[in-house]
Amino acid sequence: MPDKPTIHAVEVGATGRTVVFLHGLFGQGKNFTQAAKSLVPEFRSMLIDLPDHGQSAWTDGIDYADMADRVAGFLRDEVAPDGSIDLVGHSMGGKVAMVLALRHPDLVRRLVVVDISPSASEDSGEFQHLLDSLAELDLATLNRRGEADERLADQIEDPRVRGFLLQNLRSGPDGFMWQANLAVLRRDLAAIGDFPQLDGTFDGAVLWMAGDRSSYITDQDEPAMRRLFPRTTLVTVKGAGHWVHSEQPEAFASALRVFLSAD
């Protein structure tokens, strides 16, 4: 996909400490708009499109160290050249955030990891089904956006999930196209579900948020989390599945504000 910046970001708010949000697989930075607005005016937020997503540049393959370094480079150059930021990451974005904090600890003051752990994810089957369903959609024969939703209804029954995925569908002079790098994301899903072996620790404060209806964080994940991030506080959000910030937005925003505002 030509003419895309290495990293695209949208700013919400203009005062206070800087909070950077990193989305999950097939998401976009704008998915955190509501949470970012809830932090104004005490915090200024940067909503990042990760590589191969949204308006950021495509790559040849998924690598968490490379993604983390690309985001860190952008933050140093454009966002926080003389200081640190607070970093929030959900799912795949949470893995990027953890790797970034471990590789660039001077850049991160506080870290929030949402419903993911520093280990291989066991629930990739759902995402495999979703990506396969999108890949089977014949874009060349689409006449309108609503038609894509209709065709996916049998494979993806939840209209909210279809809407989330179809935010990546764009129309242009040559017809419809995927804004995200669907081919690479689908091919490298195993890499997305994995987590790299890293040494060292991040010694800043960490908020580890889990949805009580999600299976992405287990008791077996806690030793690895606390080895890499010794100052971790685990909070479970009631009534939330994997998409904590969209399923329980008020509880998510409240926990975020309390943690980021603490001395």
d(CA 199, CA 144): 49
The reported pLDDT for the residue numbered 123 is 61
The reported pLDDT for the residue numbered 4 is 82
pTM above 0.75, yes or no: yes
- For 8-121+195-261, the fitting CATH number among 3.40.50.1820, 2.40.37.10, 3.40.50.720, 3.30.565.10 is 3.40.50.1820
Each residue's pLDDT, cut to its tens digit, for the chain (263 residues) gives: 446 889 999 999 999 999 999 999 999 999 999 999 999 999 999 999 999 999 999 999 999 999 999 999 999 999 988 789 999 999 999 999 999 999 999 999 999 999 999 999 866 668 899 999 999 999 999 999 899 999 999 999 999 899 999 999 999 888 999 999 999 999 999 999 999 999 899 999 999 999 999 999 999 999 999 999 999 999 999 999 999 999 999 999 999 999 999 97
**Taking the domains of the chain in order of start, what are their residue ranges?**
8-121+195-261, 124-187
